[in-house]
């Protein structure tokens, strides 16, 4: 399979992971066993955002793009793909920390709802 197609697949997997991290608690309402996949993903995303490191999928995509003759890019997946959509300016450390806090807030609210529903059914 050509490297460019593999790089595109990595982008889609990366995007699916980001969506899962932000809204995956909704899947926990549907299937409680999803908790064991979702919580580690949330903790990983929070660690990546707060540490300022890159997710390993970003260098993998860049490597595949270079192998395909397309060239890689600087920065993170979020900075390259999501920031131009979400924000008109580049990714800064403060925005990265804010994004980590948003992951915490959204998931705390969703899990609070799940716990409330679980206790209400007892």
Cα–Cα nearest to 102, from 42, 60, 53, 52:
42
pTM score > 0.75 for this model?
Answer: no
101-112 pLDDT tens trace: 988 898 898 889
Separation between Cα atoms, residue 27 and residue 24, nearest integer Å: 5
What torsion, rounded to 10 degrees, do the Cα atoms 97, 101, 106, 107 define? 100
Tally of structural domains, the chain = 1
Separation between Cα atoms, residue 64 and residue 58, nearest integer Å: 10
Enclosing domain of residue 36:
3-121
The answer to whether 96 and 53 are in contact (CB under 8 A) is: no
51-84 pLDDT tens trace: 888 888 888 888 888 888 877 666 666 666 665 6
């Amino acid at each position: 399979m050509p490297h460019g197609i593999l790089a595109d697949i990595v982008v889609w997997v990366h995007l699916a992971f980001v969506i899962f991290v932000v809204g995956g608690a909704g899947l926990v309402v549907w299937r409680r066993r999803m908790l064991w996949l979702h919580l580690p993903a949330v903790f990983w995303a929070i660690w990546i955002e707060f540490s300022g490191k890159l997710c390993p999928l970003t260098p993998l995509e860049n490597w595949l793009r270079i192998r395909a003759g397309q060239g890689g890019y600087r920065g993170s997946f979020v900075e390259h793909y999501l920031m131009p959509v979400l924000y008109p300016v580049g990714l800064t450390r403060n925005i990265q920390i804010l994004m980590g806090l948003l992951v915490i807030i959204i998931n705390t609210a969703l899990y609070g709802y799940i716990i409330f529903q679980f206790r209400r059914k007892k």
